[in-house]
Structure 1
Amino acid sequence: MFQVAVYGKGGIGKSTMSANISVALAGRGLKVMQIGCDPKHDSTRLLLDGKAQRTVLDYVREVPIGKRDLNGIIATGTAGVLCAEAGGPEPGIGCAGRGILTTFDTLRKLGADDLDVDVRIYDVLGDVVCGGFAVPLRNEYADAVVLVTSGEFMAMYAANNIMRGLSNFDTGKPRMLGIVLNSRGVDGEYEAVKSFAEATGTRILAVVPRDGQFAEAESLGHTVVELFPESVIAREIGKVADSIVDACDGRLELTSPHPLDDDQLSDLAAGRAIRPYGDVPVSRIGCGGCHRTTIEGTRVMGSCAAYGAVSAFLRLEDTAVVVHGPVSCSYLMETTRAKAMLEMYSRGVFRRSPRINVRSTMMDDESAIFGGNLYLKACLERTISEGYSRIAVVTTCMSGIIGDDCLSIVDAVMESNPSVEIFLVRADGDMTGEYNDGFMMAAEAIVETVDTGLEPDGSLVNLVSSSFFDVQSVAHRKELDRMLGAFGMRVNCMFLDEGSPRPPSEICRAGVDVLMNDTPTSRELMGMITRRTGRLPFPAVMPVGMHDYLDWMRQMGAWTGRSEDAEREIARATAEYRGFLDAHRDTLRGRTAIVVSRIGTNLDWLVDVLEDMGVSVLRYGFFPSARKAGGRQSSRHDHVDDYTDDDLMRDLEELRPDLMIGGIVRQVPEGTVMAKMNRIGVGYRPVLEYVEYLENTLRLPGMEGWRGGGRS
């Protein structure tokens, strides 16, 4: 695929030229795709009967990641030209240049690079070549650059700036195809553009006349090439198309332009002969208009995608994490993670003292203007010099906004250090989502390290979850080991957890993969492992409560061919459970309760044991989640979705339960005791311990205001 970036000053006619060039190329038998990279999103209108198409940025804003499809942002226009529009943010909010980066990333992830296309045309705003709008100038996107200009000074000034931007991405490979003169009818127009082209070392590809056929064609929503194929305009556009074909086939040499300096620009503006080219300094144009804002009514994220990615990588003992951004970002991530790890260390989770290998590229105001690539390169080289052979690079908001080309830096460093493996997660702070989104991006990279050639051992089990807090205590871990031990099994890898016996790369040593808990995130992690290894996971989640415990034991017995061992354990567990009920039922029999939780956290085990103890559950409600909007809870019991604070307070006043139980802390009326949920663990024994907690809570004397909360 040959890629052409068409640049020009806003309003110079580059979109009209791009659409006409696309049709001309299609008429020569080529398969063409045109991508509009201007917030006005009008590049492809003439290819789509004058209609505007849905922009990529609108699509990204409206459609969740898991439901996105390339067909949602690609339209087929005149002569089969494939069309896409980047779009832009609301005026005055955000950075339109960043939108270009998001557009390209979205197209790539959805498979646009795999489309059957011969030539891809990028139609790009060229007034300011900031980090985002300069992306099409990069070597990975633009094989050739075409500039559209008129004989007006500001149009040529913008073209000169674009040449400067191209120089900043100079790889030693010529990429300037030439200039298209879109005539405005000013005096001496051709001579001015010819002088500019000669002074900068490029060529004029075509001279397009000022003609009413443009307006006539546009009023009908079509291109001049399509409606007036024999016109002078169509003939000149055909010259551009032929030049692209010749360049693609190697028959036309591209050039490396040398932009004019300030003195030469003064000559151009004055209409004088342009003085000879000298040593022209290359400047960089930064995007200074990017800022964060708060919009009333939007949901505040608990944490950003960058921290989610960092958190995932910190669970690997042999990996140093480089946060590409300000030191404040890495400091907050490091201290937040350190608190969680300190708590786990006190529980005896780690086999050795935990380490937090976080580094910062120390981006500052200067790097925000001129780019942070050198900061990243220096930090990677320092980290390698300290002996690390596996490094994760996570980008933050600042590097994302200015469009740092992190991939090129990472590739160059790995090429210089063949024994070093570097992960790159372009989380870009919160621009790609929140904590969970970044965590999953990192997990996807980590799963790629799994060695699929290892021989599986039937006595080993992998547990899969984004959180292992439920078994991060000595007592809960012993219960887990006892359950697996009934079948002669033990844990191989806990994906992803700091206390994992073996690293993720050795997942295939185990004979079976089991979900630790049934949440959307855990299921997504399991899906990654299934796609990587090609093997099916165990059909049942690690059980909580007696009902699920019995079912899980039978399924694991059948899976391992040890059904007799399963039935022996079931008989023993059933006898213990019934004995507990007989000894404790009198304490809770006849009581009433309301059970509440957040959607995604199943408390069926709690309803089960309450009913077994003789408690009447008056209401079983699930509070909605902003992240899981519209979600519904799966449950064996009658329950209420979208349960609200108002619903709860009404039920507490009307039903007057003895207990209000769950993960929602609220003030309760006189006569009701609130019992909080804690990490419950797995199996049935932790459930019995929770029943004892409920008994103790009911025995406590009443307190003014808040009742019974905070004890477990």
Structure 2
Amino acid sequence: MSADSPADEVRRAVSAVMDPELRLPIGELDMVREVVVTGDVAEVAIALTIVGCPAADRIEREVRAAAAGVAGIGRVDVAVGVMSPAERAALTERLRGGRRRMPFGPESLTRVIAVTSGKGGVGKSTVTANLAVALAGRGLAVGLIDADVHGFSIPALLGLVGRDGLPPQPTRVDDLMLPPVAYGVKAISIGMFLPRGERGGGAVAWRGPMLHRTIQQFLTDVYFGDLDVLLIDMPPGTGDVAISVGQTLPHAEVVVVTTPQTAAADVAIRSALVARQTGQKVVGVIENMAAMTLPDGTVLELFGAGGGAAVAQALSTDEDVPLLGSIPLDAQVRVGGDTGAPIVVSHPDDPAARAILSVAERLVARPRGLAGRALPVTPR
């Protein structure tokens, strides 16, 4: 058996470099072209997916480092080109798996969890963002869709903002969108597509058909790759988006967020009932802004007590709906939201962070029904 040539060794090393947006090796993406080794000089040609690829500098730098790491290579020259339209079309078709339908249907092995609330202001988006980061921290592949189109906040909560203070725009490879990644979470939000230059990224004033189309595009045209969990940050209430998501993802699991306050708890129950009408399964309740312990040991119940347990009990009619956890009121949660540093990362030992991490553990430990799902197993 003959030994590999220096060019083969360089090609193997370079092919293992990961595309930071697609999260796949560039060799697997057919981005490595000619590799020539003359003496101790390696010449490597690569083709990026699009002109102006935001990851170009990083890919070139890592290709250069990978080639230089091969024994006997003293200098590396990298030539950077761009895929042809035909090559790009072939790549997007391969990434889609030859399918143009929504990849998170009932047969998918991805666990889809919609996080909802009856009313705004209960911290639903903050809880969702922290849950996503907590799950990614456990080694899971996590995607996050900001379905709160009118009140989008996920990009800011994850620190996905540029120097202009606006969310980064996803890279487009033909009609496929590559979601930005923060803390290991692939996230998409309407805030990434609005006109630049306006504080907050502008406002969205859309009705049902536009909202439905947006959700459909997020589910179909965004390349998340293989996910373990897809979280959906739902808008509060029982409006058009809740109905669209329910009709599109009737197999999704639903987690309800409420505060201990009775008024918030009563409204939260309604959002869960609408989810059930579309066939979705309510798997738990999260109580946010629960009692906090002050430095002198005093317990402050700023929003009352018992709301989360009351919602869980009210929903436990035909089947048990557990209270997954109570997240205490914590100033660091607010600070993390303002700075884009989720508390589960910035202050993992704070009581609120520990409560969120515990909820994440309970969610992933929950058994899944695989009826109707095509398992990736080939009979022999």
Give the shorter-chain TM-score range. Answer: 0.5 to 0.7
Structure having the higher helix fraction is 1
- TM-align CA RMSD: 3.1
| Paired residue type of 1:194 | A
Residue 596 of structure 1 is matched in structure 2 by: none
What is aligned with 2:289?
Answer: 183
TM-superposed CA distance for 1:27, in Å, is: 1.0
**1:53 corresponding residue in structure 2:** 167
Shift of 1:106: 1.7
Match for 2:128 among 1, 18, 22? 18
Q: CA deviation at 1:6?
A: 0.4
Deviation at 1:49, TM superposition (A): 4.9
Give 1:405-424 correspondences, 5 Å limit.
Answer: none
Identity among equivalent positions (%) equals: 24
2:327 aligned partner, one-letter code: V
Measured in 2, the distance between the counterparts of 1:215 and 1:76 equals: 22
- TM-score by length of structure 1 reads 0.30
Residue 52 of structure 1 and its aligned partner are, at CA, apart by 4.2
Q: Corresponding residue for 2:230? A: 120
Where does residue 253 of structure 2 map in the other structure? 144
Are residues 77 and 98 of structure 1, via their aligned partners in 2, closer, same or farther at CA, if it must alter by over 3 Å?
A: farther
User: Which among 153, 156, 162 is matched to residue 265 of structure 2?
Assistant: 156
- Alignment of 1:100 with 2:211, yes or no, is yes
After superposition, the Cα gap between the structure-2 partners of 1:241 and 1:17, relative to the gap in structure 1 and judged at 3 Å, is same
List alignment gaps of at least 5 residues for structure 2: 1-109, 195-201, 292-300, 371-380
Q: Secondary structure at the match of 2:187?
A: strand
Q: How far off its partner does 1:84 sit?
A: 0.3
One-letter code aligned to 1:53: P
Equivalent of 1:231 in 337, 350, 362: 350
Asked if 2 retains the 8 angstrom alpha-carbon contact of 1:149 and 1:181, the reply is: yes
The secondary structure found in structure 1 opposite 2:135 is helix
| Partner amino acid, structure 1, of 2:133 | V
The whole-number CA distance in structure 1 between the counterparts of 2:166 and 2:186 is 14
Q: Does the residue aligned with 1:207 lie in a helix, a strand or coil?
A: strand
Between the aligned partners of 1:239 and 1:250, the Cα distance in structure 2 is 22
Say if 1:10 and 1:107 are closer, same or farther in 2 by CA, change over 3 A. same
Task: Judge conservation of contact 1:49–1:222 (CA < 8 Å) in 2.
Answer: no
Tell me the SS of whatever aligns to 1:134.
Answer: helix
Larger Rg: 1
CA apart distance, 1:37: 1.1
| Corresponding residue to 1:208 among 311, 327, 330 | 327
1:492-550 per-residue CA deviation (whole Å, 9 max, x = no partner) reads xxxxxxxxxxxxxxxxxxxxxxxxxxxxxxxxxxxxxxxxxxxxxxxxxxxxxxxxxxx
Note if 1:28 corresponds to 2:143. Answer: no
1:47-446 counterparts in 2 under 5 A?
47-49=158-160, 52-53=166-167, 68-71=175-178, 74-78=179-183, 80-87=184-191, 93-95=205-207, 97-110=208-221, 112=223, 115-127=225-237, 129-138=238-247, 140=249, 143-170=252-279, 175-183=281-289, 185=291, 186=301, 189-201=304-316, 202-247=321-366, 249=368
Show CA shifts across 1:151-199 (max 9, x none). 22332233122122113213xxx71111111125546833233233212
Amino acid at match of 2:344: V
Distance 1:98 1:236, change over 3 A: farther
Distance 1:6 1:204 in 2: 14
The Cα of 1:238 is off from its aligned counterpart by 1.3
Is contact 1:151–1:190 with CA below 8 Å preserved after alignment? yes
1:14–1:123 CA contact under 8 A, matched in 2: yes
Amino acid corresponding to residue 94 of structure 1 in structure 2: W
Cα distance in structure 2, aligned partners of 1:159 and 1:213? 25
Gaps of 5+ in 1: 252-712
Please report how far the alpha carbon of residue 215 of structure 1 lies from its aligned counterpart in structure 2 after TM superposition.
2.4
- Given that 1:55 and 1:86 are in contact with CA atoms closer than 8 Å, whether structure 2 keeps it comes out as no
Cα 1:4/1:52, change in 2 over 3 Å: farther
Q: Secondary structure at the match of 1:197?
A: helix
TM, length-normalised to structure 2: 0.55
One-letter amino acid matched to 2:285: I
Give secondary structure in 1 for the equivalent of 2:234.
strand
Distance 1:141 1:169 in 2: 6
Cα distance per residue 1:16-56 (max 9 Å; x no partner): 10110011101111000111111222123222355542579
What are the superposed Cα offsets for residues 135-154 of structure 1, whole Å, 9 maximum, x if unpaired?
A: 23347265211111102233
Q: Which amino acid aligns with 1:69?
A: L
Q: Distance in 2 between matches of 1:92 and 1:84?
A: 16
Cα pair 1:207 1:236 within 8 Å, conserved: yes
Partners of 1:147 and 1:178 within 8 A in 2: yes
Structure ranking higher in strand proportion: 2
Q: Spell out the pairing of 1:626-637 with structure 2 (5 A cutoff).
A: none
**What residue identity is the alignment partner of 2:157?**
L
Structure 2 equivalent of residue 656 of structure 1: none
- CA shift, 1:227, in A, is 0.6
CA distance, structure 2, for counterparts of residue 248 and residue 100 of structure 1: 32
Whether the 8 Å contact between 1:55 and 1:84 is mirrored in structure 2 is: no
Distance 1:210 1:53, change over 3 A: same
Separation in 1 of the partners of 2:214 and 2:290?
Answer: 32
CA distance in 1 between counterparts of 2:272 and 2:246 reads 10
Q: Which amino acid aligns with 1:16?
A: T
Distance in 2, matches of 1:230 and 1:151, equals: 23
Q: Deviations over 1:263-315 (max 9, x none)?
A: xxxxxxxxxxxxxxxxxxxxxxxxxxxxxxxxxxxxxxxxxxxxxxxxxxxxx
Aligned pair count reads 235
More contact order relative to length (CA 8 Å, sep ≥ 6): 2
Distance 2:236 2:335 in 1: 26
Deviation, structure 1 residue 91: 6.1
Question: Post-superposition shift, 1:110?
Answer: 2.3
